[in-house]
Amino acid sequence: MQQTQSAKSPAHQGMTTRKDMWWLEPALVAIGFACFGAYGTFRAFENNYYEFAHYLSPFYSPKILLPFWQSMHMSPAWLILWIPGGFRATCYYYRKAYYRAYFMTPPACAVTPPVGAGSGYCGETKFPFVMQNMHRYFFYLAGIVLAILWYDVFAAMFYDGGFHLSGLSLFMLVNVIFLSAYSGGCHACRHLVGGRLDCFSCPSAKPQLSAWKFVTKLNEHHMAWAWFSLFSVGLTDFYIRCASQNPSLALPLF
């Protein structure tokens, strides 16, 4: 009887039989999201220091300047950020991360959630969680924004009839590589590439199968790409903000 009792799940909130620091990951996730959210909100409202020379911040690309929007002194970043923001907010990895970090449903595996956390949860069938089903559509929109960011990188390297390289343009290049790996490893992308295959061994399916295997490799490290790209896009914007005030920070190489 005693052995059976000890095998039962802990009944009190936060109780667990785990011996590791299970709370560290959700705590770091909560802090990381909060810091990025605070910085991104500040930059969107600042509406300044986002462009100089041939460099454009990813927070403001593509630069949409509507006359009415400008007359209201509204930041053009708000016309763009809802797309990558919606893409990340509905991402399968990010759902797990912020559900645990902020909603504590549950805080971690085999950890009893606080009283009331997750009560009445009925999946993602009612508002606002039903909005998570828009992830695949945000993926399509984010792909357009990503293509424009790639154009920004080439525009920062090829101008005046020649090739120019700087520390800042390299930073922008690394950023779009991380963003591409994150988007390319997305579950929606994986399904789009190979989800319709009925015959993996058919000769006609080999090119699509190879593409699906490549996307699957990216998907295996989706969490890492999510964090790398989150911070790379923030650091790229911060670099451009600093360089727009002090152009020497762009570090021209040739």
Structure tokens at 155: 């525009």
Residue 252 confidence class, pLDDT cut points 50, 70, 90: confident
Tell me what the mean pLDDT of segment 50-75 comes to.
88
Residue 162 confidence class, pLDDT cut points 50, 70, 90: very high
What pLDDT is stored for residue 224 in this prediction? 96
Q: What is the domain extent for residue 41?
A: 2-250
Nearest CA among 76, 89, 99, 92 for reference residue 36: 89
Q: Which helix (H) or strand (E) holds 150?
A: helix 135-157
**Worst-scoring range by mean pLDDT, 40-44, 108-112, 172-176?**
108-112
**Which carries the bigger pLDDT value, residue 9 or residue 236?**
236
Q: What would the pLDDT profile of 78-95 be if each residue is shown by its tens digit?
A: 999 999 999 999 999 999
What pLDDT is stored for residue 8 in this prediction? 47
Q: Is the pLDDT of residue 201 over 60?
A: yes
d(CA 94, CA 116) in angstroms, rounded, equals 22
Please give the DSSP secondary-structure letter assigned to residue 204. Answer: G
Report the mean per-residue pLDDT for the chain: 87
**Which carries the bigger pLDDT value, residue 4 or residue 185?**
185
Residue 168 confidence class, pLDDT cut points 50, 70, 90: very high
What pLDDT is stored for residue 1 in this prediction? 39
Contact 52, 243 (CB under 8 A): yes
Model confidence, pTM: 0.87
**Worst-scoring range by mean pLDDT, 9-23, 34-48, 106-120?**
9-23
Q: Is the pLDDT of residue 56 over 70?
A: yes
Residue 231 confidence class, pLDDT cut points 50, 70, 90: very high
| Cβ-based neighbour number of residue 212 at 10 Å | 21
**Worst-scoring range by mean pLDDT, 116-125, 137-146, 198-207?**
116-125
What pLDDT is stored for residue 200 in this prediction? 74
**Which carries the bigger pLDDT value, residue 1 or residue 66?**
66
Number of domains in the chain: 1
Contact 48, 123 (CB under 8 A): no
**Which carries the bigger pLDDT value, residue 182 or residue 160?**
182
Number of residues that this document lists for the chain: 254
